Structure 1
Amino acid sequence: MRPGRVAERVGVPLLAVVTLALLGLVFFYPVGIVLVESVRVDGVYSLARFADVLADEFYLDLFGFTVYQAILSTIAAVALGVPGAYVLARFEFPGRKTIRSLTALPFVMPTILVAIGFVATFGENGVVNVVLGAVGLPTVNLRGTLLIIVLAHAFYDAPLIARITAAAWEGVDAEMTETARSLGASPLRAFRDVLVPQLLPAVLTGALLTFIFSFMSFAIVLALGGLSLATVEVWVYHRISQLDYGTASTLAVMEMALSLALTYAYLRYEARQRAASAARPPERMDLFGSVTKSRLFAWGYAVVAVVVFVVPIVSLVLASVTGPEGFTLRNYRFLVERQATAYEFQVKPLTAVTNSLLFGGGTLLLAVPMGVFLAVVSTRTFRGRKLIDTLAMAPFAVSGVVVGLGLLRGFVFGTEAFGYRFTVAGPLAIVAAHAVGAYPFVTRNVAPALAGIDDSIVESARSLGASRARVMLDIELPLVVPAILAGTAFAFAISIGEFDSTVILATGGTSYTMPVAIERFIGRRLGPATAMGVVLLVVTGVSFVIIDRLGEGSGFGG
């Protein structure tokens, strides 16, 4: 067999092995460290810690509350998301495509940004209290309550449910509903018996994803609830801060087992529900026209959507430029002045911005090649491909807190091997953690684009003597450059906003980022926290614009 043929046959499997080896180093090994630490007590392997947790009423209540708040958050997100899906799928209006694109925001919006937006809206000095005080009504402070956590989760996850459900709604076969009506079914009966069964799989898919996200939520609960309303993730972070790594690892493993089981259930359910789009979807109605029940509902939902989705962001911006004296830029001046006056142990705002940008750039160097390589592997047929696909998507089901803890214990603190102690600096560990969270989005953007390339183009090039590797480099990858760029923008935005692993790896050092700076400011100085939030919002917004422009029709960007 010619060397070229041999290279082609082993090239893709070799590429998969190299990529998985890198993934093993930055993800599976750190997670393995957490697993081992959870079962090692005083040098002896034991399940004693798990038995202690299961026998402790405090920890049972902790898991119970985590599930409870996730259920409430899911209900609230479904209640907000499904009507939004109806408006997007059934009505035509200026800006509909833009608003539909905005439903991808949960993938790139930093959770700490959501938290600071809700503090600026519903906190003690928030916009809501300013309005209530102006009209002589009693003020309220929702910070530290379960209600604000549920609302923040709904803000974050409802657009995801709307996105998934709207796609299903647009694929509903209009003829089925018309047939039911022609046989005498009332509009309500046709909706209940014909439409709901077709939409239910999409709603359940979105609800399950929302439950997983809310169950693993960290930054929102930490910033809005603190230890008084701690979930498992928040308590793991608390135990890490108290240097109780054994308990932290045990809780993290138990949470990871539950999240992996839920994610597996989601993937199995999603695979069973995939179906081709209907031949004739229902026509959209014009949002502007004579008054009807449907239009009144749509406009009523628009009011609710503005209050829930727009007011927190507007409140964030307003809080950054206002004070007791009215309009002011002192919060932004503070960010500049603090850089020169802060002590070493204090957060320096410009350092946080610089770190975020540097870590974002470093993340791209690692995440983009990994994501593209795995996209190539996922579109090739060879033995073991499904296993590689599963392993490559594992970071979706493991929280950043677990990854951060594993990197801290395994690399930052050092690992003994071959008679040496290998250590990694905090910034490198942060970049590794960010890459783990970012590369799946590159893969999910690039893989569909590669799979959508016309086979005849590849076959024509091969018939002219081009090797498989040459076809990939000269034809296929250039055709999916927009998808690669969209994945790159996703990876950068995710790195910029990543909080869960960063807050662990940046503790006690100067490797803090903008999200970490916001969390440290939020308890003491709301103004500077909102100013830093606006800076983070601008960076994230620019990334989103790039995604929206380049990601049309690819993965999450479309």
Structure 2
Amino acid sequence: MLYVPVGVVFVNAVVEDGVPTLEHVAAVLTDPFYFGALADVFADPLVIRTHLGSLAAWLGAVSISVSLEYPIPGVSLPVPWPGVEMPDVRTGLFGFTAYQAALSTAASVALGLPAAYVLANYEFYGRRTLRSLTILPFVLPGIMVAVGFYAMFGRAGTLNTLLGLVGIGPFAFIEAAPLAVVILAHAFYNAPLVARLTVAAWESVDVRTVETARSLGASKRRAFRDVVVPQLVPAVLTGALLTFIFTFMTFPIVLALGGLQLATVEVWIYDRIQRLDVVEAATLAILETILSLGLTYAYLRYESAQAGFSQAASRPAREALFPDLRTACSPRRLAIVGYGLVALVLFVGPMASLVVGSVTDGSGLTLRNYAFLLERQLEGASFQTLPLPAIRNSLLFGVATLAVAVPMGVVLSVLTVRAGRSGTVIDTLAMLPLAVSGVVFGIGLLQGLVFGVSLPGGWRLQITGAVAIVVAHAVAAYPFVTRNVSPLLANLDPAMVESARALGASRLRALLDIELPLVAHGIVAGAAFAFAISIGEFSSTVILASGSESYTMPVAVERYLGRRSGPAIAMATVLLVVTAASFVVIDRVGGRGDP
């Protein structure tokens, strides 16, 4: 289910008419459209000295060149920020993808660290709920978040409506600065991830080490810098690396908010598939997968070296956020209030705008958008995207995904924990879905298992329709089961298993009767994550559902968005309701385990 589709993509890139070749890979590496200034170096590595100036500019560029034009007439990369002068260095498609990922990572860290500081050091009403909300990146579908930002920053969005109340606007935020909106949407996703990892690290700091530094003459600021910060850096770097990986492989957010105007590697691969240029798409996919797999392996090695955050023997006491009126007006508290307002606009605004936009239009409150969905359902034309089949398919695929992903995740957790030193290699191979984008995997499924793979003996392996989509969802979901179960299995006392074995239990019996019941809440949490991942999966589904009736709610949202924004927002609101139900299960049952 995993390696065959990925292998099919790799074969398409390096085999032509049955003969191995690197011609297509070399063509992409030496094309300035894809690698900008680096293309000359790939073409002739021996003359790298003559390109050091352009390479330094390529690596140090803080923006992109508007001279990079796509093969589509009239489509070019826009300026990321109005008024910023563009350099002459062409970064290419991969350079722009890395550039927007770096900006998104910086924005996510900048927004996530203040949240971690507040959650780790202050006590206030709702703190536990806010910390639980930091798992949102793993629950909310990307296409729904994109529609939420469209509902907030669009011409008829919430922000322009509020500005109109004071006689300002409307402004074309998305059209004028699409990259800025995309970066904010990425920060919406990944800042909670940075905050969650950093809070865990902050709470693991032993307060006695800080007190020792203070007793030796260090100031409060010096003790924080020399004792606390070094213990936070690994968590921040881990969150930043994960954010970079996720945003480098970004697809639904850029597709919905930027399209080909802001094409990343993922969006361009999807466009190549739409144009039936399979070889070029496969070649791009193989290069992207190599880069992302290398980053994922680096993350897993780094995480293994850190060996997790142990609970501090003496955790720092949290102080009340607003103990009295005089303290509430201090500069630090006022800064926290200011950050809270920014976070409220960024994190609550898009989802609130989504709900409000589904029941309003330019004239006020209306149910016209939902009426459109109902009329579309009653018409029932086979060529149309109907809402009820989309909802039904999403729920059925979610349940089927559980039946496949949960056993897969548990088995891989057991293998990873018992593998000893080779566990990192197994973990890396098992986490391949985190390094392979849904678009790439969807292409591999379509070209491989959907079209059929010949086996020895004249047999043919072929899966089609809904089964292929469930396979794609299960592969995307099982790593989250593994990440929830593995830490719990690793922390179990081996003496319990040894006692069971001494009393005559087999290894399998000890696993079923002792180990799995003790990690049951992690399994349930992983199952909730798997269901939520399936409900929101878009990248591979939009490829596999093309031309069939196996479309899901995220695919329906994207199809509606391409025609009428109102029904798309209404459909995204329905998706939000279903996703919120999954989140409640995760929060209630799985809040004790981290993804």
TM-score (norm 1): 0.91
Q: Residue deviations 1:363-411, cap 9 Å, x none?
A: 1111111112222223335796554333222222111111111000001
2:262 aligned to which of 229, 234, 243: 229
Q: What amino acid sits opposite 2:173 in the alignment?
A: L
SS in 2 for 1:104: helix
Tell me, yes or no, if structure 1 residue 254 matches structure 2 residue 287: yes
Give the structure 2 partner of residue 538 of structure 1: 577
1:107 aligned to which of 123, 138, 143: 138
Aligned CA distance change for structure 1 residues 215 and 459 (closer, same or farther; 3 Å): same
Tell me, yes or no, if structure 1 residue 264 matches structure 2 residue 297: yes
Any conservation in 1 of the 2:13–2:24 contact (CA below 8 Å)? Answer: yes
Give the structure 2 partner of residue 409 of structure 1: 447
Any conservation in 1 of the 2:140–2:536 contact (CA below 8 Å)? Answer: yes
Aligned CA distance change for structure 1 residues 316 and 410 (closer, same or farther; 3 Å): same
Q: Which moved further from structure 2: 283-292 or 145-154?
A: 283-292
Give the structure 2 partner of residue 333 of structure 1: 371
Cα displacement (A) at 1:161: 0.2
Alignment of 1:417-428 (within 5 A): 417=455, 418-428=457-467
CA distance in 2 between partners of 1:452 and 1:209 (Å): 24
1:138 aligned to which of 159, 169, 172: 169
CA distance in 1 between partners of 2:272 and 2:460 (Å): 26
Aligned CA distance change for structure 1 residues 177 and 422 (closer, same or farther; 3 Å): closer
Q: Which moved further from structure 2: 269-278 or 401-410?
A: 269-278
Q: What amino acid sits opposite 1:252 in the alignment?
A: A
Aligned CA distance change for structure 1 residues 253 and 189 (closer, same or farther; 3 Å): same
1:76 aligned to which of 107, 126, 131: 107
Aligned CA distance change for structure 1 residues 126 and 179 (closer, same or farther; 3 Å): same
Give the structure 2 partner of residue 496 of structure 1: 535
Q: Which moved further from structure 2: 266-275 or 398-407?
A: 266-275
Cα displacement (A) at 1:41: 2.9
Any conservation in 1 of the 2:120–2:199 contact (CA below 8 Å)? Answer: yes
Give the structure 2 partner of residue 280 of structure 1: 314
2:384 aligned to which of 330, 338, 346: 346
Q: Which moved further from structure 2: 505-514 or 196-205?
A: 196-205
Tell me, yes or no, if structure 1 residue 458 matches structure 2 residue 491: no
CA distance in 1 between partners of 2:172 and 2:382 (Å): 34
CA distance in 2 between partners of 1:384 and 1:137 (Å): 61
SS in 2 for 1:282: coil
Alignment of 1:54-203 (within 5 A): 54-60=29-35, 61-144=92-175, 145-203=178-236
Any conservation in 2 of the 1:489–1:546 contact (CA below 8 Å)? Answer: yes
SS in 2 for 1:500: coil
Q: Which moved further from structure 2: 301-310 or 370-379?
A: 370-379
Q: What amino acid sits opposite 2:366 in the alignment?
A: T
Tell me, yes or no, if structure 1 residue 315 matches structure 2 residue 353: yes
CA distance in 2 between partners of 1:134 and 1:519 (Å): 31
Q: Residue deviations 1:308-342, cap 9 Å, x none?
A: 10011100000011123322222222222212325
Q: Residue deviations 1:56-112, cap 9 Å, x none?
A: 221121111101100110111011000000010011011111110110110111111
Q: Residue deviations 1:423-451, cap 9 Å, x none?
A: 32121111101000111111222223333
CA distance in 2 between partners of 1:458 and 1:414 (Å): 44
Cα displacement (A) at 1:355: 0.9
SS in 1 for 2:310: coil
SS in 2 for 1:465: coil
Tell me, yes or no, if structure 1 residue 515 matches structure 2 residue 554: yes
Aligned CA distance change for structure 1 residues 102 and 127 (closer, same or farther; 3 Å): same
Q: What amino acid sits opposite 2:152 in the alignment?
A: T
SS in 1 for 2:541: helix
RMSD value, Cα = 1.9
Tell me, yes or no, if structure 1 residue 525 matches structure 2 residue 564: yes
Alignment of 1:418-497 (within 5 A): 418-497=457-536
Q: Which moved further from structure 2: 361-370 or 134-143?
A: 134-143
1:53 aligned to which of 28, 53, 71: 28
Q: What amino acid sits opposite 2:316 in the alignment?
A: P
Q: What amino acid sits opposite 1:512 in the alignment?
A: Y
CA distance in 1 between partners of 2:293 and 2:511 (Å): 34
Any conservation in 1 of the 2:207–2:315 contact (CA below 8 Å)? Answer: yes
Aligned CA distance change for structure 1 residues 476 and 271 (closer, same or farther; 3 Å): closer
Q: Residue deviations 1:218-250, cap 9 Å, x none?
A: 101100100010000000000001011100000
CA distance in 1 between partners of 2:241 and 2:422 (Å): 28
CA distance in 1 between partners of 2:208 and 2:521 (Å): 37
CA distance in 2 between partners of 1:405 and 1:456 (Å): 47
Cα displacement (A) at 1:38: 0.5
Q: What amino acid sits opposite 1:91 in the alignment?
A: Y
CA distance in 1 between partners of 2:223 and 2:494 (Å): 42
Any conservation in 2 of the 1:335–1:350 contact (CA below 8 Å)? Answer: no
Q: What amino acid sits opposite 1:365 in the alignment?
A: A
Cα displacement (A) at 1:179: 4.1
Q: What amino acid sits opposite 1:164 in the alignment?
A: L
What 5-or-longer segments of structure 2 have no aligned partner?
A: 36-91
Any conservation in 2 of the 1:259–1:398 contact (CA below 8 Å)? Answer: yes
CA distance in 2 between partners of 1:462 and 1:516 (Å): 50
Tell me, yes or no, if structure 1 residue 375 matches structure 2 residue 406: no
What 5-or-longer segments of structure 1 have no aligned partner?
A: 1-25
SS in 2 for 1:140: coil
Cα displacement (A) at 1:175: 3.4
Any conservation in 2 of the 1:174–1:282 contact (CA below 8 Å)? Answer: yes
CA distance in 2 between partners of 1:491 and 1:262 (Å): 23
CA distance in 2 between partners of 1:114 and 1:164 (Å): 22
SS in 1 for 2:547: coil
Q: Residue deviations 1:434-481, cap 9 Å, x none?
A: 000111111222223333333343333333322222222233323332
SS in 1 for 2:454: strand
SS in 2 for 1:515: helix
Q: What amino acid sits opposite 2:182 in the alignment?
A: I
Q: What amino acid sits opposite 2:107 in the alignment?
A: A
Q: What amino acid sits opposite 2:275 in the alignment?
A: Q
Cα displacement (A) at 1:543: 0.9
Q: Residue deviations 1:465-516, cap 9 Å, x none?
A: 2222222223332333222221111111100000011011111211111011
CA distance in 2 between partners of 1:131 and 1:305 (Å): 18
Any conservation in 1 of the 2:400–2:470 contact (CA below 8 Å)? Answer: yes
TM-score (norm 2): 0.86
Any conservation in 2 of the 1:446–1:555 contact (CA below 8 Å)? Answer: no
CA distance in 1 between partners of 2:418 and 2:217 (Å): 51
SS in 1 for 2:385: coil
Q: Give the total of aligned pairs.
A: 531
Give the structure 2 partner of residue 17 of structure 1: none
CA distance in 2 between partners of 1:113 and 1:143 (Å): 16
Q: What amino acid sits opposite 2:407 in the alignment?
A: P
Any conservation in 1 of the 2:146–2:257 contact (CA below 8 Å)? Answer: yes
Q: Residue deviations 1:339-365, cap 9 Å, x none?
A: 232532221111111111111111111
CA distance in 2 between partners of 1:155 and 1:131 (Å): 21
